Amino acid sequence: MLPKTLARKYGLREFMVKRYIEIFGVKGTKEFLDKVEKGISSYVRVNTIRGREEEITYRLMEKGFDLKDTFVPHVYSIKGDFSPSSSLEYLRGEIFLQDLSSAYASFSLGVKEGERVLDMCSAPGAKTTHIAQLMRNKGEILAVDSSKTRVLSLIYNLARCGVRNCYVWIEDSRKLPSMIKSKFDRVLLDAPCTGEGVISKDRSRKLSRVEKDYSIMSSIQKELISSGLSLLKEGGILVYSTCSISPEENEEVISYALEKFQVEIIPLEFGERGLKSFMGRKYPREVTKCRRFYPHVHDTYGFFLAKLRLVKEVKT
């Protein structure tokens, strides 16, 4: 009866609540759903391509914004009387509105100046602009996205943030291995997903998904991660992330990568451990090195993150 009651109370589908109970337990599910209703904190990343961090944060505080440090460098939680997206700092690209968990994904990639980086599903560009910032606009980023409309947002975000080392392609990233001969030092795969973790932002996701969607997305994600790993240099790093908490789109995809490729998971400092099992399915022990973020625990969107190192290059 409980899943049905909670589903009615929070306007969700019953199967979703059952899955949440499997992950969080009953008490955790209530806390999760309460937080989703209440909403999470807003975060901004200070774009050091456009100016000095101290000066930008000083100007924001002068306008009455309350900023608090987070565990990701240059990222602050922000509170104010008006939206930072209408500030002069935003229009000049000095700040980017980006969730903490999303910024942790691009930060975890560990890019260095002068490297070659592939961002596989890059629009609208929050992580791409962050990577460019961490590379100090040096080296090269190939940013790919299959949607022409979304690529337009990416282009204008790159321009606004002063990114100069990025090349944008409109392409399905699953086709990239047949198109690119050279390999990359690092690959970011922020895979398309059911978006279960961003219900607090997009309420339509409460009812827009059916159970079958998890397996459909999971197949696409497996194809994408195969493509990403095929394009990686030996010893190169791939960060896989989704804004979903469903294990089919996360632990299952990483288990697939562990089985098909010679990769190892690099543990990350922040976040909850990956799941060992879900609804009767068991995942390899190593998958617990992946990281999960939850609204009621970390005050972020629901998010999944895995950092993989390719031990042996794939012959293409």
Partner 1 sequence: MTPSWFKSLKRWVENLNSEYEDEIMKFMKWCLDSEILIKKENLILLLTSRSSFLNRSVFSGIPLGEIGSRERFIPHPEISSVIGPFLKKAYSSEKGAVLFTYGRDLFIESVLGYSEMPRDEECLLICDAYGRDFGIGRYKRGERIIVNLLDRGLYLRKGY
Interface residues with partner 1 (CB under 8 A) are 51, 55, 59, 85-86, 88, 91-92, 140, 142, 151-153, 155-160, 162, 164-171, 179, 182
Burial of residue 163, with CB atoms counted within 10 A of its CB: 0-12 exposed, 13-18 middle, 19 or more buried: buried
Q: Which residues contact 196 (CB under 8 A, 6 or more apart)?
A: 16, 205, 209, 243, 244, 245, 246, 302
Phi, psi (degrees; rounded to nearest 5) at 87: -85, 160
Distance CA 271, CA 245 (A): 13
Least distance (Å) from partner 1 to the CB of residue 160? 5
Distance CA 294, CA 306 (A): 15
Residue number with CB closer to partner 1 (61 or 91): 91
Least distance (Å) from partner 1 to the CB of residue 186? 15
166 is catalytic: no
Least distance (Å) from partner 1 to the CB of residue 22? 39
Residue number with CB closer to partner 1 (38 or 138): 138
Residue number with CB closer to partner 1 (41 or 137): 137
Least distance (Å) from partner 1 to the CB of residue 161? 10
Q: Which of 264, 274, 267, 271 is nearest to 236 (CA)?
A: 264
Annotated catalytic residue within 121, 161, 243, 290: 243
Least distance (Å) from partner 1 to the CB of residue 10? 30
Residue number with CB closer to partner 1 (140 or 286): 140
Residue number with CB closer to partner 1 (28 or 162): 162
Distance CA 136, CA 161 (A): 12
Pairing of strands 291-293, 281-282: unpaired
- Find how far residue 96's CA is from the centre of its chain: 15
In the block, residue with structure tokens 């009767």: 280
Q: Which residues are catalytic?
A: 243
